[in-house]
Amino acid sequence: MTTPTTPAVHAAGIGKVFPSASGEVTTLTGVDLEVAAGEFVSLIGTSGCGKSTLLRLIADLDTATSGDLTVFGKTARRARLDQDYGIAFQQAGLLPWRTVAANIALPLELHRWSRPTREARVTELADLVGLSDFVARYPDQLSGGMQQRVAIARSLAASPQLLLMDEPFGALDEMTRERLQTELARIASETGAAVVFVTHSIPEAVFLSDRVVVMSPRPGRITDVIDTTPGRARDEALRESPEYFARVTAVREALHGTPLQRANER
Amino acid sequence: MTDQAVAPGSVTGVVPDTNGRMPRRRAARSSGAVARVGWGIAGVMALLALWEAYKLLGPADGVTVGGDGSAGSGVILLPRTHDRAMPHVWDMVARLFQPTSGAETSPLLVSVLEAAGTTLGLAAAGWVIGVVVGGILGIAMQRWRLVEWGLLPWIVVSQIVPLIAFAPVVNALGSQIDRAGVFPWPQWFSVALIASYLAFFPVAVGTLRGLESPDALHRDLFHTQSAGWWQTLVHLRLPAAVPHLLPALRLAAASAVVGAVVAEVSIGLRGGIGRMLIQLAGQASSDPAAPWAPTFGTVAIGLVAAAGVALIGVTLHRFRRGEETR
């Protein structure tokens, strides 16, 4: 059993090397990262900086070449077997032959929950993501945003204390994207789950996160960590606030590696 | 079918109606069904018209070149059109309602239907055996790469062996087993087995392809859920295989019918349509319309078999939803 002080993710000196035709490719090197329980951390960086690889290591979809990685104090493999995390990808990845309800229930079915507990949990989750009226629909009858909500509900099915999200809103239009960000902020605070969130959108990272981890490619490593905990609720007003803009600028500068010249300082 | 055919999944913001159905699509589909039946009938009519038109216009004795005048010599450029070679369509139909052979026997149609029923049963038995064997082979090949490498070439080669050479071997083997008392092996079982020999091939290949069709995302998802091989098979691979499997089952049904007819002929099993075809074709010079009756019977068996598989497709409709959107 985990205590409140056990970090959700603890990574020390993580390296990942992929073999390739032209020798070895170092995707990650010397990555140290700690995600506290209930903390929302975004990984941001250009394509090929290894942010998705790092997420896959935490999810035990790949294994690190070097370093020490634990999830709630256990190995990543043990955490996966214990259903300690839920995961959502850029594509919703729903099973087209299952209804919304059956898609949400998939993790519970695979772990042999009884039908009544499964149904009660699905009702709860559909309500949480605002899809109660759509549980009998099939994925092809839903918009992209709704499909992604189903995927989020599915990742939350077993009440994990860690959510791993790999650009879950990357394929959505800007309007839907902002609406789902607000919902995810609410869901994360309601469930109290820690979140590791991969994105390449600076505003998205700043809006959602307590900390933004800035990564850089060749080889993939962490170059900066910026505290973005808002002193207020994450709502639409936050998007308009000066402190939000200041943090967006801070993350942008960290990504580019140099202070940017601003239009009003020229 | 113009704008209705656009994938509904691509529309953002589905209008929530109460029963989750799409009335416009449904209307389009039913009018499409009428059109399909219409085209089907038109196709058959065109074939009959072509037959009669050639019979009317073509030379009665056909055109052959290089022959020495005796029957069957030379190369036929145009087939003969006289009534013994090409009976009228209406004569073929009328023949169905005349006695099979001699005044006392039942109408030819009844005999054909009985024989067709027998052959359909044999083909169905062959189809079931073929589907079970093909399915098991497909699953085994997906499970163990080594099995795929070792087995798939042989499965392909197996289809090159001519059935007509292979059928008597099965029959001889079966009757030996039957005589030796190992277990009872009726002759019809040889026919079903030979039919299954053709039927298992598309099922094995289709199952393998279908089971390997889920994309990396879904495999990752099941891996993160710590789903084992069996759970992944039942909840992901088999459902995803359905769209690949249905055409394979349809091919298998057609192959099973062909296999059953050919096996009947080559083994000499009585009661089926294959035997009837040979018998009536032998009397064609005196009764030219008769062999067409079992020919139509064979077509009917094929249609019933295809319809049976289509029925399976309807019951598995929800596993084919992906086909409509992507």
For every residue of A15-58, DSSP letters joined together read EEEEEETTEEEEEEEEEEEEE-TT-EEEEE-STTSSHHHHHHHH
Between A219 and B23, name the one with better pLDDT: A219
For B272, the enclosing helix (H) or strand (E) is none
Q: Confirm whether the ipTM is greater than 0.90.
A: no
- What pLDDT sits at residue B154? 87
Looking at residue A259, its pLDDT comes to: 61
Which phi and psi (to 5°) does residue A173 adopt?
-75, 160
pLDDT tens per residue across all 326 residues of chain B: 333 333 443 444 444 444 444 455 555 667 788 888 999 999 999 999 999 998 888 887 778 777 676 666 778 788 888 888 888 888 888 888 888 777 777 888 888 899 999 999 999 999 999 999 999 999 999 999 888 888 888 888 888 888 888 888 888 888 888 888 888 888 889 999 999 998 999 999 999 999 999 989 999 999 998 888 999 999 999 999 999 999 999 999 999 999 999 888 888 888 889 888 888 888 888 888 888 888 999 999 999 998 999 999 888 888 887 654 43
Residue A77 contacts B where some CB pair is shorter than 8 Å: no
Contacts B236 to A, Cβ<8 Å: 95
Candidates A80, A138, A143; nearest CB to B321: A138
Report the pLDDT value the prediction gives residue B71, as an integer from 0 to 100: 65
- Phi/psi-derived region of residue A50, left when phi > 0, alpha when psi is between -120 and 50, beta in every other case: left
Nearest C-alpha of chain B: how many angstroms from A96? 6
Q: Which of B7, B224, B239 sits opposite A59 (nearest CB)?
A: B224
Tell me the two tokens of residue A35.
């995600």
The band of A217, judged by pLDDT with boundaries at 50, 70 and 90, is confident
Mode of pairing for the β-strands spanning A23-35 and A9-20? antiparallel
Measured at the alpha carbon of residue B309, what is the angle toward residues B316 and A100, in degrees to the nearest 5?
10
| Residue in A71, A138, A147 to test binding to B, most B beta-carbons within 10 Å | A138
Tens of pLDDT, residue by residue over A165-194, are 998 888 888 888 888 888 888 888 888 889
Q: What is the pLDDT of residue A195?
A: 92
Closest A-chain CA to B318: A97
Interhelix angle B108-143/B292-315, rounded to 10 degrees, is 40
**Which residues from chain A sit within 8 angstroms of residue B230, using beta carbons?**
none
The 8-class DSSP code of residue B99 comes to: B
pLDDT of residue A261: 58
Picking from A53, A132, A140 by the largest number of B CB atoms within 10 A of its own CB, the best residue to mutate is A140
d(CA A203, CA A239): 8
Q: Which chain B residues are closer than 8 Å to A107 by Cβ? A: 225
Do the chains contact at A145 and B12, CB–CB below 8 Å?
Answer: yes
> Residue A4: pLDDT above 70?
no
With pLDDT > 70 as the criterion, what percentage of chain A qualifies? 95
Touching check for B72 and chain A: CB below 8 Å?
A: no
A138 by Cβ neighbours in 10 Å (0-12 / 13-18 / 19+) ranks as buried
Q: Which CATH superfamily is domain B95-325 in?
A: MetI-like (1.10.3720.10)
Q: Do A85 and B16 touch (CB under 8 A)?
A: no
- Distance between CA A219 and CA A66 in Å, rounded? 14
| pLDDT at site A265 | 52
Contact A173 B12 (CB under 8 A): yes
> Which residues have a Cβ under 8 Å from the Cβ of B216 and sit 6 or more positions away?
none
Q: Does the pLDDT value for residue A90 go beyond 80?
A: yes
Question: Which pLDDT score, from 0 to 100, does residue B100 have?
Answer: 77
Q: Identify whether the C-beta of residue B171 lies closer than 8 Å to the C-beta of residue B104.
A: no
pLDDT band at A22 (very low <50, low <70, confident <90, very high): confident
Alpha carbons A183 and A145: distance in angstroms, whole number: 12
The residue of chain B nearest to residue A144, with distances taken between CA atoms, is B12
What is the biggest distance separating any 2 CA atoms in chain A, rounded to whole angstroms? 65
What length does chain B have? 326
DSSP one-letter code for A265: G
| B217: nearest CA partner in chain A | A93
A223 SS3 class: strand
One-letter amino acid for residue A255 of the chain:
L
Interface of A with B in 169-188 (CB under 8 A): 173, 176
From the list B13, B221, B231, the residue facing A143 with the nearest CB is B13
Which of B246, B244, B240, B242 has the alpha carbon at shortest distance from B306? Answer: B246
Handedness of CA B114, B119, B125, B131 (dihedral sign): negative
Residues of chain B with C-beta less than 8 angstroms from the C-beta of A109: 235
